[in-house]
Amino acid sequence: MIELIGYTAAFLTASVMIPQIARSIRTKSVGDISFMMLALYITNTGLWVTYGVLIGAGPVVVADSFACCAGITQLIIKLKYNKL
Find the CATH number of the domain harbouring 30. Answer: 1.20.1280.290
Considering its fold, how many domains does the chain have in total? 1
Percent of the chain whose predicted confidence (pLDDT) is above 90: 67
Q: Mean pLDDT over residues 8-27, rounded?
A: 88
Q: How big, in percent rounded to 5, are the helix, strand and coil portions of the chain?
A: 80, 0, 20
> How many residues does this entry show for the chain?
84
Q: Per residue in 70-83, pLDDT tens?
A: 999 999 999 999 87
Confidence of residue 84 (pLDDT cuts 50, 70, 90): low
